[in-house]
Structure 1
Amino acid sequence: MGCAGSTDKSEEGATKKLRKPKPWKHSEAITRAQLKKMREEFWDTAPHYGGKAEIWDALHAAAEAQLDLAQAIIDSAGIIVTSEDMSVCYDERGAKYELPKYVFSEPINIIKDD
């Protein structure tokens, strides 16, 4: 249940309610430090993939937030989520934003840092 003015736009093909990503496995076991480095590299280069910097910033904030806060960030930025795990999103002008799974969840084969 949301605010009186909130709507679920999933029927119209727009914003979907975010959900926890499905478990996934990286091609090889990685440490949390390696995962952190991969995330940093992605977010440092994300604006070069196209789209608007402020949308990338909102996606970055949402990817690191709890689900309810992430939903609020996505909604307030006007981001259209086509996959419940945020892996494919669009801005209001139709620019596509693709996020790899590792930016918002950990693989099941993560190993402890030494």
Structure 2
Amino acid sequence: MGCAGSSQANAEGNVKQVKKPRSWKHPQPITISQLIQLREEFWDTAPHYGGRKEIWDALRAAAEADPKLSRVIVESAGIILQNPDMTVCFDERGGRYELPTYVLSEPKNLIRDS
């Protein structure tokens, strides 16, 4: 048996297009600076929960890039996407990486800082 992402193993090197997650809503309106702080906290702590640092670094670069560049980053790092929105990914060794939607897209109720 393969890992949950093994369905893409046959198409290795053929990552489907990376997409931003569907729109979401934060429990309360959130400012851009608060969102940036949440993202920084996630990226600072993510490697401590397992996985390889270089994969976390590649995931961060892909999350912060436009979708076409994200695809190139994911392919070059050997990351297998379970979902095109990058919320669940695997490395080549089968390590699982879960990304919250707030690091991948902006909420509907984002308040621009003035």
Same-fold call, TM cutoff 0.5: yes
Aligned counterparts of 2:112 and 2:66: Cα–Cα separation in 1: 23
Identity %, equivalent residues: 59
CA contact (8 A) 1:16 1:83 kept: no
1:66 paired residue number = 66
Moved more, 78-87 or 20-29: 20-29
Distance 2:20 2:102 in 1: 13
Match of 1:13 among 8, 24, 29: 8
2:105 is aligned to 105
Counterpart for residue 36 of structure 1: 36
Shift of 1:21: 1.7
CA distance in 2, matches of 1:59, 1:94: 15
When the two chains are superposed, the root-mean-square deviation of aligned CA atoms in Å is 1.6
Q: TM-score, normalised by structure 1?
A: 0.86
TM-score, normalized by length of structure 2? 0.86
Letter in 1 for 2:19: R
Unaligned runs of 5+ residues in structure 1 are 1-9
Letter of the aligned partner of 1:18 in structure 2?
Answer: V
Find out whether 1:57 has 2:57 as its counterpart. yes
Q: Are 2:17 and 2:67, in contact at CA under 8 Å, matched by a contact in 1?
A: no
* CA–CA separation in structure 2 for the residues paired with 1:40 and 1:100: 12
Count how many residue pairs are aligned between Structure 1 and Structure 2. 105
Q: Which runs of 4+ in 1 moved over 3 A?
A: 13-16
Per the alignment, residue 5 of structure 1 pairs with none
